[in-house]
Amino acid sequence: MSKPLILATGFGVFPGAPENPTTWAMHEIERSGWQPAGAHLVTRTLPVRFDLWDGELQPLLATARPDAVVSFGLSAKAKGITLESTARNRVATERPDFTGACSVSDCAVDSGAEILPTRLPLRDISERLYDAGIPIGRSDDAGDYLCNLLFYRLMDFAEAGGPKVAGFIHVPYLDTQVARLAAAGHGLEYGGTLSETQLVQAVKIVVECCVRAVQPAHALTS
- Where in the sequence numbering do the catalytic residues fall? 84, 147, 170
Angle at Cα 125 formed by Cα 160 and Cα 42, nearest 5°? 60
Residues 6+ away with beta carbon under 8 Å from 7: 41, 42, 43, 44, 60, 61, 64, 66, 68, 69, 70
